[in-house]
Each structure stands twice: as structure tokens, then as C-alpha cells.
Amino acid sequence: MLGLVALLQSCNLAVPAGIEPVVGFDLRQYLGRWHEIARLDNRFQRGLEQVTATYSLQGDGSIRVENVGWNTRKQQKRTIIGKAKFVSDREMGHLKVSFWGPFYGSYVIFYLEADYSVAIVCGARRDFCWILAREPILPAEDLAKYLRIAQENGFAIENFVCSIQSTQENAY
């Protein structure tokens, strides 16, 4: 029974109540490397630092997702490859992402700077949230702004962890 519940939750493509995916979304501008600035800690990423997500368009129209981070406990690089697809409208920041075969989870871009320099993304529930940026480090006042936006959208910012990033490319 627990396995079935976990399976059903892993396929949840919902958008949390009160959250609106960005509209006028341009995938081509979103592609490329993003640095994780802060996140609601989760078991999949616990102990990871220097986390990046790189999105690239594949021949079939899906999006290749490459997440890389430094595992502080094992002192090694961890990489996981997945794929993303739009849930419906290609101009809406609501995608589904899979790292495990046919099981997809919701990927909702609910805040995006006009120049695609910073994004705030959540899952189907309010227990997953990430602040992503094109640069590895944000000034403290900018981070405070994005945490405030996350809080205003119902995320428990006291549970966010700030990612340690290196300003060196491929620091691991």
C-alpha cells in the first residue's frame, strides 16, 4: 500500500493551490545552466552543494535535464540525468520532469525575471521549492527578495538551505 501511495505521489503533475505558472514562457531563453541558490531541503538532495541544473533541447522536442552536485559526505560528484516535457501549453512554465522511467513530477516555474536571470520553481506541493540563478552567487539583498517571494507564495522559508556555490566553473 505504501508503495502505491509513493507511486501515485511521484506522478503528481498538479500546481499547488494559489500558485500560477509564468505565462509567456520562452523555453529557448530558459535552456542552459542554472545554479541552485537555495532550496527547501529534500531527501534527494540532502548533503549536496554546488548544485547546477542544465537544460538542453533534445531531437524529439523533450528537454534533457542534467543535475549535478557535490556530495559532501562521500566527497564526490553526483550526476543524475532526466527529461522534461510541457504539461500542456508551451508558453506556460509548467513542465513535468522524470528521473525514473515513466514517473513524472510537476515542475512549476512561478517566478521568472524578465531577463531569465533568476527563477523560482516548485513541485506539485509546497515541500519542494528552488531558487535558481544564472550566476552562482546572488547578492544578499537579492536573495532576501526571492526568499520573500517564496514566502509570499506559501513556502516555509525557515526550512530553506542556501547552496554553497563556487565561482569557479566545474569546481568539483
Residue 42, pLDDT score: 77
Classify residue 168: in a domain, yes or no: no
Classify residue 68: in a domain, yes or no: yes
Query: Which positions ≥6 away from 111 have C-beta within 8 Å?
Result: 22, 118, 119, 120, 146, 149, 153
| Cell 511521484, located at residue | 10
In which band, very low, low, confident or very high, does the pLDDT at 2 lie, cut at 50, 70 and 90?
very low
Classify residue 44: in a domain, yes or no: yes
The CATH number of the domain holding residue 31 is 2.40.128.20
State how far the Cα of 50 lies from the Cα of 170, in Å rounded to an integer: 9
State how far the Cα of 133 lies from the Cα of 34, in Å rounded to an integer: 5
pLDDT in tens, 77-133: 989 899 999 999 999 999 999 998 888 999 999 999 999 999 999 999 999 999 999
Classify residue 72: in a domain, yes or no: yes
pLDDT in tens, 38-93: 999 877 777 788 999 999 999 999 999 999 998 888 888 989 899 999 999 999 99
Is pLDDT above 80 for 167? Answer: no
Domain of 92, in residue numbers: 12-162
Residue 3, pLDDT score: 35
Is pLDDT above 90 for 170? Answer: no
Classify residue 167: in a domain, yes or no: no
Average pLDDT score over the chain: 88
Tally of structural domains, the chain: 1
Query: Which positions ≥6 away from 100 have C-beta within 8 Å?
Result: 10
Classify residue 5: in a domain, yes or no: no
Classify residue 50: in a domain, yes or no: yes
Residue 41, pLDDT score: 84
Residue 86, pLDDT score: 97
Classify residue 170: in a domain, yes or no: no
Query: Which positions ≥6 away from 87 have C-beta within 8 Å?
Result: 13, 94, 95, 96, 106
